[in-house]
Structure 1
Amino acid sequence: MFTSTHLLKQRRFVPLFCTQLLNAFNDNLYKTTMVLFVVYSVYNSADSETVFSGVASAVFILPFFLLSAIAGQLADLRDKAAIIRKVKAAEIGIMAVGAFGLYLTWEGIAVEAVAIPLLMLALFAMGVHSTFFGPIKYAILPQHLKKEEVLAGTGLVEAGTYIAIMTGTILAGFLADHVEIAAIAIMGFAVIGYFTSRQVPPAPPTGEPEKIDYNPFTSSWKMIRECTANREVFYAILAISFFWTIGSVLFIQFPPLAKNVLLADPTVASLFLVFFSIGVALGSVAVNLLLKGVVSARYSPISVLLMAVMVAIFYFVCKAWNAGLRDTQLMDVATFLSYPMAWAVLGSLLLIAIFGGMFVVPLYAFLTTKVAPSQASRAVAANNIVNSGAMVFGSLLALGLSAVGVPLAEQVLLSAGMCLVSVWLGARLYKAEKDAALMASEPAATM
């Protein structure tokens, strides 16, 4: 069976799926509500808004860079289900700090001195939380699923993640002006996520006991170096990381672009992220159907090439948007959708995400199927380390472009050009895949 639906009936999969879904939902609800509220209610310049959005992204990503190696070791050498429960319990406390920061910001109490630092502290802590959860959500799949189910499970986890992001984004758009309700919501969903995590079946370590290296620098370097020995995993990591460099640039641009180029309010900025999330979910399912459960990078180069084309189209649509026909009041969703070109904006965003999902989902499956089961978490962690470095680079790139005065729309066009590097990396990965298959077939042919 090459669809994911049968897994939704399996006790070995559903609790993990629901826990990850709630995790992505609450992460996104908190982060998006915070960014939209600050962008639209605290700052009043495009430069300040872009800087805040970029700093928020960098703060969330930094723990992935520093702690992924330790997280990967723990996930391979301890029961993964037990780690999930501890991580989800910590989320309740983290969200309490974030909720208090949102409340202070809403009340206008010590916004710069206390409220925003609390918001950033909670965001950093959620980055730590996601760092330790991240290697598990993929590496646990080969333990609970059959070999032919891993790609379907990976696609379903990825699709569910983006559906959760979409739902959290929609809610965040409406709660950006009602952050007191958002504060209560993020606490409630953290508690629900903890209880679902308690249903995840045990996933004990499969390898021999090893000593954990708690030095983030030596352990990170060792983990990345080990992955370079496997060309398929190495190119998968590079391709995923460069993809998320592009993604981080685009995500940083969305709120300021919606406000300052398209003259739209927070609900429209959320709508952008919603369409992006729907697209990645659709792409995740579509590529699994095309590959029929086989882990392969066959469609990755053409997928990201088509993504580049759609990013370029998105740029030209934004450039053609005629702000002179409207007054200066920010548009809500209904007003935005009344303009014919709005559907060109949303359609191009949707296709960007569909082709992006088709590119990246099979690559995550490489990380857990092309290594020994006892090394799967560390392969995912190595990927997270390189990913986080790439996303920080993307964040700094977006900030640097804004600092030197490059308009937001032109920054989008740069993202289209960056996709061409991903095309090359996808092609290199597919070549490495075919070379590995050829080498594996040669001994069999000589027997």
Structure 2
Amino acid sequence: MTHHDQQSSIDELPSSTRAEGELPPLLRDPSFWGMSVTQFLGAFNDNLFKQLLLLLATPTAVELAAAQARGETAPDRQSEAMIVFAIAFLLFSGFAGWLADRTSKRTLIVAAKVAEIVVMALGMVGFLFYGSIGFSGMLVVLFLMGTQSAFFGPPKYGILPEIIHDRDLPQANGIFLMFTFMAIIFGVVLAGQIGSSVDTVWIGSAVCIVIAIVGTLTSLFVRRVTPANPGMKLRLSDFFVPPESIALVKRDRELLLAIIVTSSFWLLGSIVQQAVNALGKSQLGLGDQETSILAAMLGIGIPIGCLLGGKLSAGRINPRVVAWGAFGIVVSLGLMSLRGGPKEHLLGFYGSIPVLIVAGISTGVFIVPIQVAVQALPPANEKGRMIALMNQCNWIGIILGALLYQGALEICEHFNQPRNTAFAIGAAVMLPIALWYRPKERSLGD
């Protein structure tokens, strides 16, 4: 088969209806950069605040040893935080998706950023009075942060196909996700610097308030867009899963598989985030700063992988890129699960750093083509609700990941196994995807 014949056999996605030249080149588009910076700042806040709570929830090696000496257990409450954050998404993503199709996505983005300022202010108050409200009280603030993020999600991803050319989606998503995971690096590292001491943790929320204000200002650079489906009526089903979305994924097997895979990906992410914190604090006996450095290594690799994934995709959905990323994740997590003795970690702190970076690169390469598929495949008037459905499925995955991690901890405790065993569960989740999932190769048109 000739190269021309191969190109002709590739299904074409519907091209954009915008006139050529109507939009500026991607890298010179202030609207795109405004949205990217806004996403960066929002993700920074999410990860700084969440990592501060996760560090508070993770017992240290000293606390574990002291509890064992008393015949007790020191609870790891990370799963509680992950589940509370996820429940907010499950409750509100459906309505948020309806809003994203019914209302201008730009209006919702600005409104969500204003709400972020309020939530971060509540977070600072909560940390200042942590002695009175405790960890359970902070879970209420975390729920509110999850709610704000649920309303921000559909418009922030759904607006990209509306403000850029379809052919630019892979590169735009690579940059967009690069900013997202750079924010994870800075947020997680700063959380480690601040530490989980109740005397200093409020400083993190003070930083978050400033970042939320700046993010609100950058959101004003996003280009105004008209509602995709302004006459749509609100129905009870829109609070859950609209029948149109169910019908769409039923008839579009590729879109259904992409949503299932992204959900499995976030299930994996839920396990790995908690496993890294437990490896550092509970198994290797590291402090908050060193533990957060380990967590940030994923964040260093992911932006590189996102840019690489966008470059390798080159204006199309490329199944080979997905496969390379998936196998890289499986191998990296398999290495992280290896032990050097009954309770030891083979790689240790310094050996884990390059492996986690490679895991991050593989993650970025893997997720970019799938993210593009979920944005490009649905009809224009259903993109918001479809991204909301994806968000709901992703957070179901995160809840399942938290439960799997909690179950893994109990098994490790019962059989006296090291906590890095949880990485093996993550590798097992990704292995069938690496072996069998291949999205259909498609050109992205104009």
The two structures have a TM-score, normalised by structure 1, of: 0.84
Contact 1:227 1:382 in 2 (8 A): no
Structure-2 separation of matches of 1:271 and 1:361: 24
SS in 1 for 2:129: helix
| Change in CA separation of 1:235 and 1:304 when aligned onto 2, cut-off 3 Å | same
Name the counterpart of 2:340: 320
Following superposition, the deviation at residue 212 of structure 1 comes to 2.1
1:57 aligns to 2:57 (yes or no): no
Amino acid at match of 1:120: L
The share of aligned pairs that are identical, in percent, is 26
Name the counterpart of 1:154: 173
User: What are the equivalent positions in structure 2 for 1:259-338 lying under 5 Å apart?
Assistant: 259-316=281-338, 319-320=339-340
Name the counterpart of 2:18: none
1:67 aligns to 2:92 (yes or no): yes
Q: For 1:182-208, what per-residue CA distance to the aligned partner results, in whole angstroms no more than 9, with x for missing partners?
A: 231122112222222222221212346
| Change in CA separation of 1:260 and 1:230 when aligned onto 2, cut-off 3 Å | same
User: What are the equivalent positions in structure 2 for 1:157-236 lying under 5 Å apart?
Assistant: 157-176=176-195, 177=197, 178-207=200-229, 209-215=231-237, 218-219=240-241, 223-236=245-258
Name the counterpart of 1:443: none
Name the counterpart of 2:156: 137
Q: Gaps spanning 5+ residues in structure 1: where?
A: 1-5, 326-338, 441-447
Q: For 1:139-174, what per-residue CA distance to the aligned partner results, in whole angstroms no more than 9, with x for missing partners?
A: 111111111111111111111000011111111111
SS in 1 for 2:222: coil
Name the counterpart of 2:357: 350
Structure-1 separation of matches of 2:357 and 2:343: 23
Following superposition, the deviation at residue 16 of structure 1 comes to 0.7
| Change in CA separation of 1:231 and 1:115 when aligned onto 2, cut-off 3 Å | same
1:423 aligns to 2:434 (yes or no): yes
1:78 aligns to 2:78 (yes or no): no
Amino acid at match of 1:16: M
RMSD: 2.7
Following superposition, the deviation at residue 220 of structure 1 comes to 5.1
1:390 aligns to 2:389 (yes or no): no
Contact 1:71 1:135 in 2 (8 A): yes
Q: Give the aligned length.
A: 407
Tell me which moved more, 289-298 or 408-417. Answer: 289-298
Structure-2 separation of matches of 1:368 and 1:255: 32
Q: For 1:209-262, what per-residue CA distance to the aligned partner results, in whole angstroms no more than 9, with x for missing partners?
A: 211235566535653443232122111111111111111111112212111211
Following superposition, the deviation at residue 322 of structure 1 comes to 9.5
| Change in CA separation of 1:377 and 1:347 when aligned onto 2, cut-off 3 Å | same
Following superposition, the deviation at residue 296 of structure 1 comes to 2.7
Structure-2 separation of matches of 1:383 and 1:135: 9
Q: For 1:373-401, what per-residue CA distance to the aligned partner results, in whole angstroms no more than 9, with x for missing partners?
A: 22111221111111111111111111122
Structure-2 separation of matches of 1:323 and 1:208: 59
SS in 1 for 2:437: helix
Amino acid at match of 2:315: G
SS in 2 for 1:211: coil
SS in 1 for 2:192: helix
Tell me which moved more, 120-129 or 202-211. Answer: 202-211
SS in 1 for 2:30: coil
Q: Gaps spanning 5+ residues in structure 2: where?
A: 1-24, 66-71
Amino acid at match of 1:115: G
| Change in CA separation of 1:308 and 1:88 when aligned onto 2, cut-off 3 Å | same
Match of 1:410 among 386, 404, 421: 421
Structure-2 separation of matches of 1:425 and 1:75: 33
Match of 1:11 among 23, 26, 30: 30
The two structures have a TM-score, normalised by structure 2, of: 0.85
Structure-1 separation of matches of 2:93 and 2:74: 29
Amino acid at match of 2:53: M
Match of 1:258 among 268, 280, 291: 280
Match of 1:99 among 113, 124, 128: 124
Tell me which moved more, 278-287 or 46-55. Answer: 46-55
Structure-2 separation of matches of 1:272 and 1:321: 21
1:35 aligns to 2:60 (yes or no): no
Name the counterpart of 2:385: 378
Name the counterpart of 1:118: 137
Q: For 1:1-46, what per-residue CA distance to the aligned partner results, in whole angstroms no more than 9, with x for missing partners?
A: xxxxx744311201111111110001111111222134368x9349
Tell me which moved more, 348-357 or 18-27. Answer: 348-357
SS in 2 for 1:299: helix
Structure-1 separation of matches of 2:51 and 2:74: 13
| Change in CA separation of 1:324 and 1:236 when aligned onto 2, cut-off 3 Å | closer
| Change in CA separation of 1:402 and 1:79 when aligned onto 2, cut-off 3 Å | same
SS in 2 for 1:298: helix
Structure-2 separation of matches of 1:414 and 1:93: 38
| Change in CA separation of 1:104 and 1:40 when aligned onto 2, cut-off 3 Å | farther
Structure-2 separation of matches of 1:381 and 1:425: 26
Contact 2:101 2:385 in 1 (8 A): yes
Structure having the larger proportion of residues in helix: 1
Following superposition, the deviation at residue 365 of structure 1 comes to 0.5
Structure-2 separation of matches of 1:26 and 1:213: 33
Tell me which moved more, 262-271 or 416-425. Answer: 416-425
Name the counterpart of 2:16: none
Following superposition, the deviation at residue 298 of structure 1 comes to 2.8
Q: For 1:106-153, what per-residue CA distance to the aligned partner results, in whole angstroms no more than 9, with x for missing partners?
A: xxx22xxx1323311111111111111111222111111111111111
Contact 2:58 2:281 in 1 (8 A): no
Amino acid at match of 2:289: T
Structure-2 separation of matches of 1:208 and 1:324: 58
